[in-house]
Structure 1
Amino acid sequence: MPTLEGWWYLATIIDLATCEVIGYAMDDRHRAELVVDTLKVAGLRGRLEPGCIMHPDRGSEHTSGEFRREVRNLDLRQSVGRTGICGDSAAAEGFFGLLKAEIRTTVWESHAAARADVFRFVEVEYNRTRLRKHPEYGCVTLLETRALLRQDRTPAA
């Protein structure tokens, strides 16, 4: 994300079952620590189930030792997208396209302004108000989808 203070990078983790952004982090450098911080945020928010599969692209930050260690620390499994197959990262590409289209800012005044816009988009608009047609639940928000999926896994008393 271009700002008057320099580039501002956004990394996300999207739950493919709900399409919800379950973790994100921003920094002024595109590095392995950025995606590791994203994993940590998702873990601290309680949004990563043990054994779930992380499916990032083949970028150097996702294939780094730091990222692999954090995946193991969180008891996750790692898969990596295939080279040249854009469908492997369709959820992330769709999210970023929507973010750019809806925020409509081409250059932010500061990193703080970009962070505020991303926070508002993800936490207020995208996860809480965006409707998704779920095959079982009908039109529900991404957050409602998460709650309904958890309810379906709760054993009967």
Structure 2
Amino acid sequence: MRASLAVEAISAAHRAGMVAGNAVMHIDRRPQCHSKLYRNVLRCLEIRQSNGRTGSCLDGAAAESFFATIEAEIGVAFWPDRASGRRDIENWIRSYNERRPHSALGYRTPHWATAL
């Protein structure tokens, strides 16, 4: 893949309103994602780059899994406005932390486990 193809894709998404300023773009280790051209376009569009270390829990797989879970459990992929999306996601996170037991925490909720 060429850097120009990545630039065309992010530019088209921005023009279509799918990416707004102050967004975070998680990039991987492909050379085109680190090209000067691509970085300059992201800067012009006010999109911040995020890049985790190899094997880090902050890599794209963890983020993609998190957002796929939210989308599946909330049942919405797009919201009519930022406020309703924020409200639904905050409610989901609150429920996740306060009411959902997790096997890694001895089937306690994260909220309860941090109170110890």
Instruction: Identify the TM-score tier after normalising by the shorter chain.
Output: 0.5 to 0.7
Given that residues 50 and 75 in structure 1 are in contact (C-alpha distance below 8 angstroms), is that contact kept between their aligned partners in structure 2? yes
Unaligned runs of 5+ in 1: 1-29, 96-130, 135-139
Moved beyond 3 Å, runs of 4+ = 84-87, 148-153
More strand by share: 1
Compute the TM-score of the two structures, normalised by the length of structure 2: 0.57
Match for residue 54 of structure 2?
83
Deviations 1:126-145 (A, max 9, x none): xxxxx6212xxxxx2312xx
Displacement of 1:57 after TM fit?
0.6
Identity fraction in percent: 31
Unaligned runs of 5+ in 2: 87-116
Match for residue 61 of structure 1?
32
More relative contact order, 1 or 2 (CA 8 Å, 6+ apart)? 1
Given that residues 58 and 81 in structure 1 are in contact (C-alpha distance below 8 angstroms), is that contact kept between their aligned partners in structure 2? no
Asked which structure has the greater CA Rg, the reply is 2
Partner Cα distance (1:85, 1:152) in 2: 28
Compute the TM-score of the two structures, normalised by the length of structure 1: 0.43
More helix by share: 2
Displacement of 1:151 after TM fit?
3.5
Query: Residues 4-153 of structure 1 correspond to what in structure 2 (within 5 A)?
Result: 30-85=1-56, 88-90=59-61, 91=64, 132-134=72-74, 140-143=75-78, 146-147=79-80, 149-151=82-84
